[in-house]
Amino acid sequence: MLQGELIGGADPEISGAAGLSDARAGDLSFITDNSHLEALKLTQASAVIIPPGIDSHLPAIRLSKPYIGFADFLKNFEVSLDRVFPRGIHETAVVHETADVSEAVSIGPYCVIGAGCSMGQGTRLADHVSLGPDVTIGQDCRLYSRVAIRENCQVGSRVVLHAGVCLGTDGFGFLPGPEGLKKIPQVGIVLIEDDVEIGSGSCVDRATTGITRVGQGTKLDNLVQVGHNVKVGSHCVISAHTGIGGSSIIGNGVAIGGSVGIADHVNIGDGAQIAGKSGMFKDVPAGATVFGVPAIDVKESFRLFSAMRKLPELIRKVRRLEGSAGASSQTSSESKNNPGPAGNSARKGDNP
């Protein structure tokens, strides 16, 4: 199945998969490098996938990329899509007469499909999915429970939207004035390109005008906020709790860690890497790696953090020096006021 090299003469029956520390008899596990050799000695797995240059006391499959092999093996344990998304249109679903759902595989309980919607071949909807008027969805998509897509938004093919994803909610646009905050109409759309996956609870706001775009192959973690008119490039990875301010542009192949905040109108260049907890207030060049609040080059940031750890000891040293300087100053003052042994200064010409 994995097209690897079998190591050892044993041929155990494999019925499951797990990491080294969690594996039990019947499980296949894996190791990627020498840092896990101790865990390999202790594992209860029946067999392991190993890279070249590492030996195993267990029956093993040798592959150049063990993690990829393990991921391929895990596909055998995925629950059938027909089990998760039963075929057909559930009797409680409400489908507008002008919607084209003829190519969809399944529409689950309590789904609401608005006027003018269309779905491509092989697309599946779980329960309580809501599609506003004129939403288009491509082929072989999966929309899990309580996904909501508002009017006119477009979703490509092979897109996965996990539970609670909202596409096309209003962008956060208000104008302050004497009577309070005036709402700016949000009349644009959201476009999700092919092969995108968006985690549970994430939101992509519709554009004020034009398009908020998430590019081909990009993956968003849970609880990611994409503001109005944002352009996210292709094959990006964006971790949980990240918020992207309106009209920012994220290049291709960008990696963004968890809890990153990106201000409005910031441009992130292709291939840039943003470490978790960073605050982005200015543009980042292509290929850069940044960290901190505000985010700066990662090496410079680490030097600053290293220096900050030394501040308490530095403060103690300064206080000791201040104390010593103060004592020396006091001694010097006393010497000037009392220079002689009995407190009287010797005058020139006095007999010693």
Q: Is the pLDDT of residue 235 over 60?
A: yes
Q: Give, in words, the CATH class of 147-301.
A: mainly beta
* pLDDT of the residue at 319: 86
235 is a catalytic site residue: no
Question: Residue 352 has what pLDDT?
Answer: 43
Q: Tell me the pLDDT tens digit for each residue of 77-98.
A: 999 999 999 999 999 999 999 9
Q: Is residue 185's pLDDT more than 80? A: yes
Q: Which of 57-71, 172-186, 293-307 has the lowest mean pLDDT?
A: 293-307
Give 9: exposed, middle or buried? Use CB within 10 Å, 0-12, 13-18, 19+. Answer: exposed
Question: Does the pLDDT at position 275 exceed 70?
Answer: yes
Q: Which of 228, 235, 241, 265 does the annotation list as catalytic?
A: 228
Q: Distance (Å, rounded) from C-alpha 264 to C-alpha 252?
A: 18
Q: Work out the percent of the chain whose per-residue pLDDT is above 90.
A: 81
* Residue 58 pLDDT grade (very low, low, confident, very high; cuts 50, 70, 90): very high
Contacts 24+ apart (CB under 8 A), 232-238: 233/270, 234/193
DSSP-assigned letter for residue 206: P
The C-alpha atoms of residue 211 and residue 235 are separated, in whole angstroms, by 19
The answer to whether 127 touches 143, Cβ cutoff 8 Å, is no
pLDDT exceeds 70 at position 147: yes
Query: Above 70 in pLDDT, residue 119?
Result: yes
**SS3 call for 155:** strand
* Mean pLDDT confidence for 7-12: 87
Model pTM?
0.84
- The b/e string for 76-91 (b: 16+ C-beta within 10 A; e otherwise) is eeeeeeeeebeeeeee
What pLDDT does residue 217 have? 98
Q: Report whether 108 contacts 126 (CB < 8 A).
A: yes
pLDDT band at 300 (very low <50, low <70, confident <90, very high): confident
Look at 124-133, 209-218, 288-297, 338-347 and tell me which has the smallest mean pLDDT: 338-347
Strand ranges of the sheet holding 88-89, from the earlier edge strand across to the other edge = 88-89, 106-107, 124-125, 142-143, 160-161, 197-198, 219-220, 237-238, 255-256, 273-274, 289-291, 296-297
Amino acid 335: pLDDT: 66
Average pLDDT, the chain: 92
DSSP 35-73: GGHHHHHH---SEEEE-TT---SS-EEE-SSHHHHHHHH
Does CATH number 3.40.1390.10 belong to domain 5-77? yes
pLDDT value, residue 334: 65
pLDDT for the residue 346 = 47
Would the pLDDT of 160 be above 50?
Answer: yes
Q: Please determine, for residue 64, whether its predicted confidence score (pLDDT) is greater than 70.
A: yes
In this predicted structure, the answer to whether residue 15 has a pLDDT above a threshold of 90 is: yes
Has residue 204 got a pLDDT over 50?
yes
Report pLDDT digits (tens) over 307-323. 778 888 888 888 888 88
44: burial class by Cβ within 10 Å (0-12, 13-18, 19+)?
middle
Look at residue 306 and tell me whether its pLDDT is greater than 90.
no
Of residues 314 and 123, the one with the higher pLDDT is 123
Residue-wise pLDDT for 65-79, tens only, equals: 999 999 999 999 999
pLDDT band at 341 (very low <50, low <70, confident <90, very high): low
In this predicted structure, what is the pLDDT of residue 12?
93
Instruction: Give the start-to-end residue ranges of the domains of the chain.
Output: 5-77, 147-301
